[in-house]
Amino acid sequence: MGNKRDNIAELVSKMPMAVVVALFAMGIFLGDRVEVPIWLYVAVMTLLLCGAFVVKGWLRMAGIAAVVLFLGAALHTTSFRGDIPYNQPVNMLLKVEQMSAVRDGYTSTEATIVESEADLLRGCKVVVWGDSLVRFSTNDRLQICTPVRAFRAERERYAKLMHTRGFVGSVSVSGRGTYGYIPAEGGSLHDFATRRLQEALGESAGRSVVLAMTVGERGELTSELRQGYARAGASHLLAVSGLHVGVVFLVVNILLVPLAMLRYGNVVRSLVAIVLVWLYVAMCGMSPSAVRAAVMFSFLQYSIGSLRRYDSVNILATTAFVMLMCNTRLLFDISFELSFLAVAGIVLWGVPLYRLLTTRYRVVNSLTAVMCVGVASTLATMPLVASTFSVVSLVGVAINPIVILLANIIIACGAVAVAVPAVAPLAGWAAELQNRVVEIAAGWPYSHIDYQLSEGAMWGVYAVMAVATALFFVVRGKK
Q: Residue 419 in 3-state DSSP?
A: coil
Q: How are beta strands 125-131 and 392-393 bridged, if at all?
A: unpaired
Whole-number pLDDT of residue 333? 79
- Give the single-character DSSP code of 454: -
User: Tell me, what DSSP letter sits at residue 187?
Assistant: -
CA distance linking residue 242 with residue 288, whole number of Å: 11
CB 100 within 8 A of CB 135: yes
Dihedral of alpha carbons 100, 103, 106, 108, sign: negative
Q: One-letter amino acid identity for 89?
A: P
Residue 162: predicted pLDDT: 80
Q: What is the pLDDT of residue 430?
A: 93
173 Cβ partners below 8 Å, 6+ apart? 128, 129, 130, 134, 142, 144, 146, 179
Give the Cα separation of 282 and 188 in Å (integer): 8
Amino acid (1-letter code) at residue 429: W
| Dihedral sign, Cα of residue 27, residue 31, residue 36, residue 40 | positive
Phi first, then psi, for residue 314 (nearest 5°) are: -65, -45
Q: What is the pTM of this model?
A: 0.75
User: What residue segments make up the domains of the chain, in order of their start?
Assistant: 2-78, 90-182, 211-478
Q: Could you say which residues of the chain have pLDDT below 70? A: 1-13, 80-82, 154, 164, 175-178, 185-187, 303-311, 397, 447, 476-479
Distance CA 308, CA 319 (A): 17
Predicted confidence at residue 24, as pLDDT, reads 93
Q: What is the pLDDT of residue 428?
A: 92
Kindly tell me the sign of the dihedral angle through the C-alpha atoms of 191, 172, 157, 121.
positive
Whole-number pLDDT of residue 338: 80
Q: What is the pLDDT of residue 434?
A: 92
- Structurally, what CATH architecture does the domain formed by 90-182 represent? Beta Barrel (2.40)
- State whether the Cα torsion 278-281-285-289 is positive or negative: negative
In this structure, are residues 234 and 248 in contact, taking their beta carbons and an 8 Å threshold? no
How much is the pLDDT for 426? 94
